[in-house]
Amino acid sequence: MTGDNGHKEVKTIDQRIDRIYRMAKAHFGEVRFVGIKRHTKIGWVAKIQFDNFDSLMAEGDTAINALRSLRKRLKKIIDRYNTV
């Protein structure tokens, strides 16, 4: 999206998490949580928890990069499912 001045709108971390949550909920139905945390050794970790056992995770050097990576992984899964 672009604003009035032609620059790309900057999304907050909350907006990114909400978008990922909506995508996962629409495709999988049940989502316990989507979140992000700082790990001391590997940087930021973004995670979708579907139930007690199933989850999807991605890492990044920043919180935004981890969320972008998680969204890309989720999008790939959804796209593969839709092509079958």
Burial call 38-69: b when 16+ CB within 10 Å, e when fewer? eeeeeebbbbbbeeeeeebebebeebbebbbb
pLDDT digits (tens, 9 = 90+) for 39-67: 998 899 999 999 888 999 999 999 999 99
Instruction: Please give, one letter per residue, the 3-state secondary structure of the chain.
Output: CECCCCCECCCCHHHHHHHHHHHHHHHHCCCCEEEEEEECCCEEEEEEECCCCCEEEEEECCHHHHHHHHHHHHHHHHHHHHHC
Q: What is the mean pLDDT of residues 21-39?
A: 93
Span 13-75 CATH architecture: 2-Layer Sandwich (3.30)
Task: State the pTM of this model.
Answer: 0.83
Where are the chain's structural domains?
Answer: 13-75
